[in-house]
Amino acid sequence: MLQARGVEALLSRCYSLLDVFSIAITHVDSNKNLEHGKTILRSQRKMEEYAMQRLTLQLTIPIPAESVLISRVELEELRKQELLGIYWSMQDLERRVNKGQVWIKENILYQPRFKKILDVEQGGFVFYPKSRGQNWSFHAAKMAEFLDKRFADIFTSFADKESGK
């Protein structure tokens, strides 16, 4: 087993060995410690001669006891569940979008093509206040999904307004 100072150092070493324009050959001594060996560089044309060579690497990465390794699918499911039953205020939405209330209203909430999807009165998931003193309310999971799916539409609309189209 190769021993290295850290995972980053080992991966960096592997990437340099697999460079498309050169091949690096490093010697490993009998104690299995990585030794700085002689590097032989070949041109890309010569790489074809080495096309059938393979580098096999067995790597052990310790995972701290307080950490857990999960699949990407499971992570996405956990993120969705995190927002179930949660409602955002306007301030929550401002933090999530990293834009102010005025920008959010002009570019998302009061855009006619979005309002017909968002408004609770039209089957949406955003409560639009009807009078002073009432607060905005957003179904967090559905609003997050809307923002993710419509990202390009929102910012295309914004860019068009900025350029005067």
For residue range 20-53, list pLDDT tens digits in order: 333 333 333 333 444 333 333 444 455 555 556 6
Q: Do 40 and 116 fall into the same domain?
A: no
> Mean pLDDT in the chain?
76
- Count how many domains the chain has: 2
My answer on whether 51 and 83 are in the same domain is no
Q: Does residue 94 sit in the same domain as residue 54? A: no
- 138 versus 58: which is more confidently predicted? 138
What is the spatial distance between Cα 160 and Cα 154, in angstroms, rounded to a whole number?
Answer: 10
- Intra-chain end-to-end CA distance of the chain, in Å: 61
Residues 76 and 148 in one domain: yes
Based on the fold, state whether residues 54 and 10 are members of the same structural domain. yes
Q: What is the pLDDT of residues 78-88, one digit of tens each?
A: 888 888 899 99
Taking 50 as the threshold, does the pLDDT of residue 2 lie above it?
no
Q: How confident is the model at residue 121 (pLDDT cuts 50, 70, 90)?
A: very high
Q: Rounded distance, CA 23 to CA 8, Å?
A: 20
| 98 in the same domain as 44 | no
Same-domain check for residues 127 and 56 = no
DSSP 67: -
pLDDT for 24 equals 35
Q: Show Cβ contacts of residue 71 under 8 Å, excluding neighbours closer than 6 positions.
A: none
Calpha distance 155→165 (Å, rounded): 13
The pLDDT, as a whole number, for residue 54 is 73
User: Binning pLDDT at 50, 70 and 90, where does residue 125 land?
Assistant: very high
Token couple for 28: 């490993």
pLDDT at 7: 53
For residue 151, what are the contacts with CB-CB under 8 A and spacing of at least 6?
A: none
pLDDT tens, 132-156? 999 999 999 999 999 999 999 998 8
Among 46, 64, 82, which residue terminates a domain?
Answer: 64
- Is 81 in the same domain as 134? yes
pLDDT-derived band at 109 (thresholds 50, 70, 90) equals very high
Q: Is the pLDDT of residue 94 over 60?
A: yes
Q: Which amino acid is at 41?
A: L
Co-location of 123 and 51 in the same domain = no
**Residue 40 confidence (pLDDT):** 39
Q: Do 84 and 156 belong to one domain?
A: yes
Torsion of CA 87, 91, 93, 94, to 10 degrees: -170
Q: Which domain holds residue 78?
A: 72-163
Contacts of 151-156 with C-beta under 8 Å, sequence gap 24+, read: 153/113, 154/107, 154/108, 154/114
